[in-house]
């Protein structure tokens, strides 16, 4: 395996000889003409402040502005508002166009890996034909909304219908893993 490390700006910080190089990270990163590696990712949320945290955070130089899609207001933890009827419909065409452009930039696309929370309004239901999805389920110790369990039930139906694999995590378990393994 290669000994490259990527900086906060996407540049390789350390590179060994050509035979030591491991370019499997190209599955998840595309290389620009200047040698910068950009994650093949798209951040979507109706709540603009969540996306803004990534835009101004430590890794902001890794991403293009087109990789962020946000609305003007959140769905208020209402799955019907976030996905089915009102706010979600306003950005769906833009989302699908950006996904298509990311897919067009891949030499051998084999699927999508999608991370979303199933308790809120925007992330509660993903799009059809997803190949693998990782979901964070609500937990009563870290719940931010009384309707999270209901949104999760509605979202679970879509996951069963439209994915090949679904891996569910609850917030408490994820926090415990981080605390034990990463000392966070």
Spell out the domains of the chain, with CATH numbers in brackets: 40-182 (3.40.50.1440)
Residue percentage of the chain with pLDDT more than 70: 59
Cα torsion 41, 44, 49, 55 to 10°: value is 20
By three-state DSSP, how is residue 30 classified?
A: strand
Reported as a pLDDT band with limits 50, 70 and 90, residue 141 is: low
Q: Write out pLDDT tens, residues 99-120.
A: 899 888 888 787 777 776 665 5
User: Tell me, what's the pLDDT at 61?
Assistant: 87
Whole-structure pTM over 0.75, yes or no? no
User: Tell me, what's the pLDDT at 124?
Assistant: 43
CB atoms within 10 A of CB 1: 7
Residues with Cβ within 8 Å of 79's Cβ and at least 6 positions away in sequence, in order, are 121, 124, 125, 150, 151, 154, 155
pLDDT at position 147 over 70: yes
CB atoms within 10 A of CB 99: 15
pLDDT at position 145 over 80: no
User: Tell me, what's the pLDDT at 131?
Assistant: 44
The CB-side HSE value for 134 (13 A sphere, CA atoms) comes to 7
78: tokens are 């209402």
Closest CA to 39 of 47, 49, 50, 30: 30
DSSP conformation class of 86: S
């Amino acid at each position: 395996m290669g000994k490259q490390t990527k900086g906060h700006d996407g540049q390789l910080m350390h590179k060994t000889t050509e035979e030591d190089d491991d370019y499997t990270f190209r599955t998840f990163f595309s290389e620009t003409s200047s040698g910068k590696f950009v994650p093949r990712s798209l951040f979507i949320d109706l709540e603009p402040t969540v996306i803004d945290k990534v835009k101004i955070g430590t890794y902001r130089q890794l991403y293009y502005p087109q990789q962020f899609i946000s609305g003007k207001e959140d769905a208020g933890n209402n799955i019907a508002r976030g996905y089915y009827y009102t706010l979600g419909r306003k950005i769906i065409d833009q989302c699908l166009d950006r996904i298509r452009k990311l897919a067009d930039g891949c030499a051998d696309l084999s699927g999508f890996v999608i991370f979303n929370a199933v308790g809120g309004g925007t992330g509660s239901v993903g799009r059809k034909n997803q190949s693998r999805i990782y979901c964070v389920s609500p937990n009563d110790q870290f719940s931010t909304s009384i309707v999270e369990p209901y949104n999760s039930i509605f979202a679970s139906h879509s996951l069963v219908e439209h994915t090949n694999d679904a891996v569910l995590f609850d917030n408490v378990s994820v926090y415990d893993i981080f605390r034990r393994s990463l000392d966070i």
